[in-house]
Structure 1
Amino acid sequence: MKKLLATVLTLALSAAVFAGCGDNSSTKGGAATSASDGAKITLSVFDAHAYGLDEYAKMVAKFEEEHPGVKIEVQHAANDSASLLQSRVNANDIPDVFAVESGTAASRYHEYAYNWSKDRDVIDLFHPEAIATSTDDEGNVMSLPWTYENLGLLYNKDLFKQAGITELPKTLDELEEACKKLKAAGITAFSIAAKDAWVLGQLSTHFMMDKTIDADGVVKALNDGSLTFEKMPNFQNLFRFLDLAKKYGPSKPLEIDWETSENKLANNQAAIISMGDWAQSVLDSFNPDANLAFLPAPVSSNPGDATILSSSNWTYIVNKNSPHLELAKEYAKYILTSDMGQYWMADGVGVVPAVKTEREVKGKLANDAKSYVSAGQTNGWIHTIAPSGFSATVGSYLQAYMTGDMSAEEVTREFQNFWKS
């Protein structure tokens, strides 16, 4: 993410910090866990999400209210969450519960993870395809999925209308024509967060796929050598896209970070950015009336290749060696399945929970994405199942391309070298 503040905020919530669960207990016999004889239990939680924090705090307050004597100390990590988590593990300060990206990143921590495979009462609460993102190579359920997230281009519908764009561009030629119309109307077409390498890294994955090969297929083919970046049908179109983003964007694109990017989109200062529906709450904070939607990314001359990317991206691991294992399990289940947990995800962040639910999702972007999901106009996420460090590493190569310090050929070669190494 997803998706992520540029600072690290450590919250030790005293009267309202997270622990256990009441109505969704996973303890033996179904009884909620709480401290006894006046003892204090502290649960250590590492959370990588930077959205919906107000709702998160309310969820925690409710949880603690139901668990007298329990205190949850939460580190909300933003941009550098992977490094911060790894540093804690290296220092043998492993949280009782921690969030990590699904796939490659999560697999690094399976040795510390509680195996949920026998907890069918918990597993069955989630959609099977979401649980599938939280398994190891043997099919063991090593974590619990958070939400469905959709990634792609976001566009400002009012600015498109102002420029006279009546149909969404589905090819790169059509995208260029849209940019010309926006410029003629005095509108900045792009505000890509090129300062944040991970944004460019995630953007690049659109151009690694088409409708003939999905995310899993690309990763498998790259791993066995049957596909290279040089021979990917749409990969060179990535550089044409970045050229458009430079030509019709800010004069200094590498000064635009994710927050500035989202601010410009929401406040009618730019028409297109690259981001996901996890940004809904921040976009709303900039302008709750912003008229925004997904633009399936044009990656070729084939309209059918234009997709958004959809996955259950983040997952929660419970430390199997936690001195408060049952409470840690309870807490993980609570934040993902309880009414308060769904309030955090569906109302606070505005995205679709991975748990089975009829709860209405308030996020306009998440609801907009449903039409593309239903139409099969999606593909999967490569960056979560790619080699570790993919987004930040390849994103730095693309930054060098945008500054003129690397050619398209050099960047393509470095993508390949990174993957092989």
Structure 2
Amino acid sequence: MKTRWLLISCFLLLTAAASAMALAGMFQDSSELSATGNGAADAPEPVRLVWLHHFGEDGSRKWIDSGIRKFQEKYPGVTVTVVPLNGGDYMSMLRMRVATDEMPDLYMIDNIQGARDLIDSGYAADLTGKPFLERLKPEYLNGAKTEDGRIWALPIDANGLGVTYNKDVFARAGITTVPETWSEFLDVCRKLKMRGVTPIAAGYKENWTLFWDLAADLIPSALVANPRLIDDLSTGAATFEQSKAVFEGPFTRLAERYRYVNADPFETSWDEARSMVAEGRAAMMIGGTWSVDGVRSKREDANIGLFPFPASEVPGAAKFAMKSTGGIVVNPHSRHADLAMELLELYAEPELGLSLQLNKKGISVIKEVNGNLDPALAELNEAYMKTGRTVDWSGILPDFTDPELGRAYSAAVADYLLDPDHDLDAALRGLDEAFGQIRPAAVPNGEEETADEEAA
């Protein structure tokens, strides 16, 4: 197990290093990545805005480009360069830009809790009181606020965590209803496998997909009731072994459904996994509602739907974990922060909200945008959002902000799956050992002065 952990850790580190080198290359020659437009030929000093995000789907990029085109109708001499990064390394790459004093003009974040270090360091413009925020549905501002009520990002859409499935594959296997309990989910997997169809598409080659596969269960079934757990594990205020009751259910269910994923999941990319569902070679994928755009980008007419991850044995108890994406952030240290703010403001307009729903296949948070939802999201809205079968996780930190802790966690989850025995106790002990080596040793309250004197 130690050998596998080291191999996976090395792989994740090499992936992060490769992404860092690629990002450096992007910034050195960013003119090659301009989404639209060019600097004015006669301008003595062309103006260029750089925007970092982690969207890999075609629809998301079309939505971003639609806003840039509108922006450049007003500012034809401004070049906007968009830099898409791998989702698993995204926050690490952002923090690398802080360390090298090369932060972009705009960037995306998934949640405020996971970006507090960037906010506290002054790399997020305060949007509190901006008139354009009045265009948004107020409940979706929760995911963009800190405890003091200040707003640091422009929310763009409402994201959910659950299961994306191919309805035609279900129908061919004789499955007429979505599973509402964990036992029913496993029964569905068995029926699909007997029909020669891969039940679950797993693209674990990118570690972020495994993270969200687990999170689709862990967040609504455990972290909603323990919102400070990730913080406490990060600081050492709690340990994984002490928190076994929280992790046991989600980890056990992850291992139980692992037998129904495609062959070689750690060699399968996210791109291939979404192709499998789009083409009907696999029936389901577990993660977020962003999978709708992912599958549609492979096959526009795929007959897909969504249902919440059924973690319990209580019919009807499963709920979609819903929140607004953290959103678009302006770097106030940008030389062109005023232009960056104008670009951000455009994405709060109904025209861009409609573009989001048509292209990104998301649920806009703008008040005036109604209809034009993707059929899978329209069904989610009718069956779960309007009926109260959702749970808000806006205030929950789902991941570890320290990249070393995040890599150790991802490696341990992978190692747990690769272990034929799926020994949870060993996995939790290993996590505590790894975290203890990474984070600074905690000094008991009242002993700081003694510790400092001894160090001197």
Residues 37 and 313 of structure 1: CA distance in aligned 2, closer, same or farther (over 3 Å)? closer
Matching residue of 2:412: 397
Question: Does the CA-based 8 Å contact 1:199-1:391 persist in structure 2?
Answer: no
Alpha-carbon distance in structure 2 between the residues aligned to 1:376 and 1:88: 41
Matching residue of 1:75: 83
Residues 357 and 418 of structure 1: CA distance in aligned 2, closer, same or farther (over 3 Å)? farther
Question: Which stretch shifts more, 149-158 or 404-413?
Answer: 404-413
How many residues align structurally? 396
Residues 356 and 17 of structure 1: CA distance in aligned 2, closer, same or farther (over 3 Å)? farther
- Secondary structure (helix, strand or coil) at the match of 1:164 reads coil
- Secondary structure (helix, strand or coil) at the match of 2:425 reads helix
- 1:400 offset after TM fit, Å? 0.9
Question: Does the CA-based 8 Å contact 1:18-1:73 persist in structure 2?
Answer: no
Matching residue of 1:43: 49
Q: Which amino acid aligns with 1:93?
A: E
Question: Does the CA-based 8 Å contact 2:38-2:77 persist in structure 1?
Answer: no
- 1:264 offset after TM fit, Å? 0.6
TM-score, L = length of structure 2: 0.77
- 1:374 offset after TM fit, Å? 1.9
- Secondary structure (helix, strand or coil) at the match of 2:101 reads coil
Alpha-carbon distance in structure 2 between the residues aligned to 1:300 and 1:18: 54
Question: Which stretch shifts more, 302-311 or 145-154?
Answer: 302-311
- Secondary structure (helix, strand or coil) at the match of 1:399 reads helix
- 1:380 offset after TM fit, Å? 3.9
Instruction: Give 1:311's match in structure 2, choosing from 317, 323, 327.
Output: 323
Residues 310 and 417 of structure 1: CA distance in aligned 2, closer, same or farther (over 3 Å)? farther
Question: Does the CA-based 8 Å contact 1:44-1:74 persist in structure 2?
Answer: yes
Superposed CA deviations along residues 1-40 of structure 1, whole A, max 9, x for unmatched, are: xxxxx98785646582499xxxxxxxxxxxxxx9998763
Instruction: Give 1:302's match in structure 2, choosing from 307, 310, 314.
Output: 314
Instruction: Give 1:242's match in structure 2, choosing from 254, 262, 270.
Output: 254
Alpha-carbon distance in structure 2 between the residues aligned to 1:71 and 1:127: 31
- 1:107 offset after TM fit, Å? 1.3
Q: Does 1:255 align with 2:255?
A: no
Q: Does 1:231 align with 2:240?
A: no
Matching residue of 2:442: none
Residues 314 and 184 of structure 1: CA distance in aligned 2, closer, same or farther (over 3 Å)? same
- 1:154 offset after TM fit, Å? 1.2
Question: Does the CA-based 8 Å contact 1:148-1:311 persist in structure 2?
Answer: yes
Instruction: Give 1:409's match in structure 2, choosing from 407, 425, 442.
Output: 425
Alpha-carbon distance in structure 1 between the residues aligned to 2:35 and 2:178: 49
Q: Which amino acid aligns with 1:369?
A: L
Q: Indicate the structure with greater helix content.
A: 2
Alpha-carbon distance in structure 2 between the residues aligned to 1:187 and 1:316: 39
Unaligned runs of 5+ in 1: 1-5, 20-33
Matching residue of 1:174: 184
Matching residue of 1:117: 128
Instruction: Give 1:63's match in structure 2, choosing from 62, 67, 71.
Output: 71
Instruction: Give 2:400's match in structure 1, choosing from 377, 387, 391.
Output: 387
- 1:327 offset after TM fit, Å? 1.3
Alpha-carbon distance in structure 2 between the residues aligned to 1:408 and 1:214: 18
- 1:245 offset after TM fit, Å? 2.9
Q: Which amino acid aligns with 2:80?
A: I
- 1:251 offset after TM fit, Å? 3.1
Superposed CA deviations along residues 139-166 of structure 1, whole A, max 9, x for unmatched, are: 1112211211122111111111111122
- 1:414 offset after TM fit, Å? 4.9
RMSD: 3.3
- 1:191 offset after TM fit, Å? 1.6
Alpha-carbon distance in structure 1 between the residues aligned to 2:410 and 2:69: 39
Residues 147 and 165 of structure 1: CA distance in aligned 2, closer, same or farther (over 3 Å)? same
Question: Which stretch shifts more, 409-418 or 242-251?
Answer: 409-418
Alpha-carbon distance in structure 1 between the residues aligned to 2:264 and 2:340: 46
Q: Which amino acid aligns with 2:170?
A: F
Alpha-carbon distance in structure 2 between the residues aligned to 1:357 and 1:414: 50
Matching residue of 1:140: 150
- 1:329 offset after TM fit, Å? 0.9
Alpha-carbon distance in structure 2 between the residues aligned to 1:193 and 1:411: 22
TM-score, L = length of structure 1: 0.82
Q: Which amino acid aligns with 1:106?
A: A
- 1:415 offset after TM fit, Å? 5.7
Question: Does the CA-based 8 Å contact 1:277-1:365 persist in structure 2?
Answer: no
Alpha-carbon distance in structure 2 between the residues aligned to 1:126 and 1:419: 40
Alpha-carbon distance in structure 2 between the residues aligned to 1:91 and 1:221: 31
Superposed CA deviations along residues 239-282 of structure 1, whole A, max 9, x for unmatched, are: 44333433223232222221111111111111111132223333
Q: Which amino acid aligns with 1:230?
A: K
- 1:210 offset after TM fit, Å? 5.6
- 1:396 offset after TM fit, Å? 2.5
